[in-house]
Amino acid sequence: MSNTIRLTAAQATIKWLSVQLTPEGDRYIDGMWAIFGHGNVAGIGEALHAYRDVFPTWRGQNEQTMAHTAIAFAKAQKRTRAMAVTSSIGPGSTNVVTAAALAHVNRLPLLIIAGDVFATRRPDPVLQQVEDFDDGTVSANDCFRPVSRYFDRITRPEHILYALPRALRTMTDPANCGPATLAFCQDVQAEAYDYPVEFFSPKVWHIRRPVPDAGELARVVAKIKAAKRPVIISGGGTIYSQAEDTLADFATKHNIPVAETQAGKSGLPQSHAMNFGASGVDGSAAANAASIAADVVIGVGTRFQDFTTGSRTLFGHDADLVSINIHGYDAAKHGAESLVGDAKVTLEALSAALGDYRAADPDAGARADWLRAVDAYCARPDNQSAKPTDGQVIGAVQRATGENAVAMCAAGTMPGALKLLWKPSQGGYHMEYGYSCMGYEVAGALGLKLGAPEREVICFVGDGSYMLANSELATAVMRRVPFTVVLTDNRGYGCINRLQTMGCGGEPFNNMYVDCNVEVQPEIDYVMHARSMGAHAVKAAGTDQLEAEIAAARARNIPTVIVIETEAKDFPGTGLQITAGAHGHFWDVAVPQVSDRQKQRDRFAQYLDQIANAKISN
């Protein structure tokens, strides 16, 4: 009996992917998003058809947004499962590069199988081939190298015997997790090879939980025991480790307040007494006050991005920084005392070593004051005919939804406003803010709903991001995937307009439609646009109607788009001011040193004072 099976390289790839399993028995790669072109239709396309009964294929509208959908699915699944995306060569591949960067920054698994040029080079240059005049090995897919955790070019059919396991090993490694790219030469996809039968035996992928080093643990314990006013900064690693309850127990037992990053928000429900809200630029008054006063700052699963640290000005110069992280690279940032390990097991070990240690009581009054301020910002406006603020829109959505709702977003004003004002249950928040990628929102809502079908998904998107990428609405309609899109229309890029005029000392220019060099102001009918793709769409005249439409959307099996015009002005606490506002902290965005305008010169003088407070470390 032969111990090999003759398949094309593409057929072998899909057959192998179909038997890669989670410990629960599910497919680890839950199917592939595909747009076919000449670089993948005859190889990967034929193989996907051959194995369609055991490995599903989904058609999207754009390679980038297909990948965004896959990334959101993986995030919703807390990195325990992932999806794949295939593209043709040339623009099909480079369309995915932005999404690969998003997955790389956010440490999320994504398998990219990109069509490539002919390995034989016989018909070179093929359609869409990018030619390097000095390097014959280069193709458009080399763009993926800096934004992939693992990159390989498949130029022989037997290469997949080694490349596929390496790709999934990367994706399931909690420290190195990120996108894996296989640049698959199109002629090799269709080339046959006698593959070992055992290559296709089902394999279960386990995600490890590294325990902390004893020496690092002892040093961190000593620092915390000597602290009177520690604070925890909880990031996405808390959620990916499924350490939410462990964090809650740790914070309660040791009486330590918790501030959250964008990725870490909803690890603790907002109702938890130790949840002091958002950290940093778009942070709450309570959380930032605790961070400023802290003598030890304990990061859990965070990479201490500039929004989290107020561009290194939030924490006191005398504060010790501790970083619990699965990867040594992140754990050592800003000169922190590293504690490398899985968040859940490390918090458990740290709590046991701390024993009955309890910090001084945090300022519960500050937390209560902040929550009252949130309620005020989000209160129902008396004048329902006036355009609401983003905070009032958030309040209306909060009132219309329950514990089951997940608020999601990615770019513009809403990420800062939601981080500050949305009061989620555990798991009730999904934000792509590591890359702050406009165009993620609608596709991300589709992926989130696929990954968490039991949750009510509310997608907040501004008119700017909606205009950039909205076509996966049609995919959601075709697949009958329901979610609700709250489209806030302020007629331009309101967030960056505020940054330009308030934060950087500039003048309104090229952000709001009214400030653009155009002949006619656009009058875009977003309701009709969404309806044209099959979604249910309506325009809300005020927040009362918005609440009613959100409730009505739950009865549908297709996406609902609710358009509401909003006031573009800022309100305190969005964190979108460069100067420290009523809640938000400083954010370092460079200000011009030379200008003929006094406003700009005054802003630069203020900027110099602010960056003087930055804590410089390695």
Summarize pLDDT for 254-293 with one digit per residue, the tens.
999 999 999 999 999 999 999 999 999 999 999 999 999 9
pLDDT at 573: 42
Which residue pairs, CB below 8 angstroms and at least 24 apart, start in 241-246? 241/174, 241/209, 241/301, 241/326, 241/342, 241/343, 241/344, 242/78, 242/344, 243/267, 243/300, 243/301, 243/342, 243/343, 243/344, 243/347, 244/268, 244/426, 244/427, 246/343, 246/344, 246/347, 246/348
CA nearest neighbour of 451 among 439, 443, 463, 462? 443
Share of the chain above pLDDT 70, in %: 97
pLDDT at 505: 85
Parts of the chain belonging to CATH 3.40.50.1220: 214-366
pTM of the model: 0.96
**Picking from 86-90, 255-259, 430-434, 599-603, which range would have the lowest pLDDT averaged per residue?**
599-603
Written as six digits, the tokens of 470 are 């909205």
Using CA atoms, how far apart are residues 445 and 459, in angstroms rounded to an integer? 6
Parts of the chain belonging to CATH 3.40.50.970: 4-204, 378-565
Across residues 12-23, what is the average pLDDT?
A: 98
Across residues 581-602, what is the average pLDDT?
A: 83
Greater confidence (573 vs 92) lies with 92
We find that the CATH architecture of domain 378-565 is: 3-Layer(aba) Sandwich (3.40)
**Picking from 20-24, 352-356, 610-614, which range would have the lowest pLDDT averaged per residue?**
610-614
Has residue 580 got a pLDDT over 50?
A: no
Summarize pLDDT for 451-499 with one digit per residue, the tens.
999 999 999 999 999 999 999 999 999 999 999 999 999 988 888 888 8
The interaxial angle of helices 413-421 and 364-377, nearest 10 deg, is 130
C-alpha 279: how far from chain center: 17
Using CA atoms, how far apart are residues 476 and 80, in angstroms rounded to an integer? 23
355: left (phi over 0), alpha (psi -120 to 50) or beta: left
Query: Which CATH class, in words, describes the domain spanning 4-204?
Result: alpha beta
Has residue 582 got a pLDDT over 90?
A: no
What's domain 214-366's superfamily in CATH?
TPP-binding domain (3.40.50.1220)
pLDDT at 231: 98
Using CA atoms, how far apart are residues 361 and 376, in angstroms rounded to an integer? 26
Using CA atoms, how far apart are residues 552 and 152, in angstroms rounded to an integer? 48
> Given pLDDT bands bounded at 50, 70 and 90, which one contains residue 583?
low
Summarize pLDDT for 187-203 with one digit per residue, the tens.
999 999 999 999 999 99
Summarize pLDDT for 44-89 with one digit per residue, the tens.
999 999 999 999 999 999 999 999 999 999 999 999 999 999 999 9
Q: Say if residues 505 and 600 touch (Cβ distance below 8 Å).
A: yes
Summarize pLDDT for 148-173 with one digit per residue, the tens.
999 999 999 999 999 999 999 999 99
**Picking from 191-195, 206-210, 426-430, 490-494, which range would have the lowest pLDDT averaged per residue?**
490-494
pLDDT at 576: 38
Has residue 572 got a pLDDT over 70?
A: no
> Given pLDDT bands bounded at 50, 70 and 90, which one contains residue 587?
confident
Q: What is the rounded average pLDDT for all residues in the chain?
A: 94
> Given pLDDT bands bounded at 50, 70 and 90, which one contains residue 618?
low
